[in-house]
Amino acid sequence: MPSKNAQETGLDHLSAMRALVRIVELGSFSAAARELKVATSTIARKITALETMLGVPLLHRSTHHVGLTEAGSLYHARAVSMIADLDDTLRVVAELDSAPSGPLKLTAPVAFGRRYLAPLVAPFLELYPAVQLDLRLTDNHNDMVMGGFDLDIHEGENYLDNLIVQPLSRNDSILCAAPSYLARRGRPRTPADLAQHNCLRYLHPEGDPRWHLSNGQGVQSLLPSGNLQSDHSELLLETTRAGLGIAEFEIWLIRDLLVSGELEVVLPDHRLENALTGRQIYMAYLPNRRFSTKVRVLREFMAQRLKGIGELPDRNLVPCLAGEF
């Protein structure tokens, strides 16, 4: 059938678009009508007018089921994105002359969240008391759309498709040990020396069990061996602090221990390459959150306080590095 324009059909296109999205998501005309507080016949007329305007059927209708046609699937996918962008624009405009407020959902890895985000929650909410912060800590990356997250702080580059990203810091990994261990067993001078040491291994189902050590001139790979392995980085950290052996850690996890001298860098001219944790720590958010005032102030707050956390502190602050290089 020939398509018509919205004026010819008397169609409120945005209202019809919203109605179709709710019909698909709720599974029936009657459920969408109840949510939108209109008669079922009104919803049906909107969809009929929309199909008339477009010149194609969008829905398969039966007594007990509503499904999308091929054209309907294409229209629905675009409609969901357009409505989300419109709602975000309306929200941003409404926020222009007001303080950031309302729900704000943030996710981050568990150890990172405990160490760095927990101390920042109170200062942030003191600055923005009208915000209701929902902070979820997990080591399993969440789908930001399905989870309703506004901002994701994460390491690595494996999850960034279709997201806007803002780097916070390099994410360097090093080997370290307690001074008591190094006094007892000696300090490795080359990666080959690690074969004579008790190496504590972090395990991840998707990770490479080998250590890949780079000094800027090449990479040496080895499979570390020792009397402890674990999938919990904080457990390995406690045993390393106790002097059990040498372990690999991302610098953000041990910065304060390096500065205090409780841990020392092993092979300070080497860094570990780890495809799982990547080379950067990022903040990531959906394109339709880019203009949100509350997301912006959270990003600015985190960027200021977390800058450079994954990088080795100034070597003058780290006792074991003072005479290196």
Section 69-74 average pLDDT: 91
Alpha-carbon gap, residue 166 to 285, rounded angstroms: 9
189: pLDDT strictly greater than 60 = yes
159: pLDDT strictly greater than 70 = no
Stronger pLDDT, 10 or 44, i.e. the higher one: 44
CATH number where 188 lies: 3.40.190.290
SS (H, E, C) the chain: CCCCCHHHHCCCHHHHHHHHHHHHHHCCHHHHHHHHCCCHHHHHHHHHHHHHHHCCCCEEECCCCEEECHHHHHHHHHHHHHHHHHHHHHHHHHHCCCCCCEEEEEEECHHHHHHHHHHHHHHHHHHCCCEEEEEEECCCCCCHHHHCCCEEEEECCCCCCCCEEEEEEECCEEEEECHHHHHHHCCCCCHHHHHHCCEEEECCCCCCCCEEEECCCCEEEECCCCCCEECCHHHHHHHHHCCCCEEEEEHHHHHHHHHHCCCEEECCCCEECCCCCCCEEEEEECHHHCCCHHHHHHHHHHHHHHCCCCCCCCHHHCHHHCCCC
**144 & 214 share domain:** no
**78 & 218 share domain:** no
**86 & 218 share domain:** no
The whole-chain average pLDDT of the chain stands at: 87
Stronger pLDDT, 63 or 74, i.e. the higher one: 74
The parent domain of residue 49 ranges over 6-95
**142 & 282 share domain:** yes
- Distances from the Cα of 294 to the Cα of 11, 188, 234, angstroms: 35, 49, 32
Q: Which of 62, 95, 128 is the last residue of a domain?
A: 95
Q: Phi and psi for 282 in degrees, rounded to 5?
A: -120, 155
Q: In this predicted structure, what is the pLDDT of residue 140?
A: 75
Question: Is there a domain that residue 317 lies in?
Answer: no
pLDDT tens-digit profile of 163-178?
A: 888 999 999 999 999 9
Question: Is there a domain that residue 325 lies in?
Answer: no
Question: Is there a domain that residue 181 lies in?
Answer: yes
pTM of the full predicted structure? 0.66
What total number of domains does the chain contain?
3
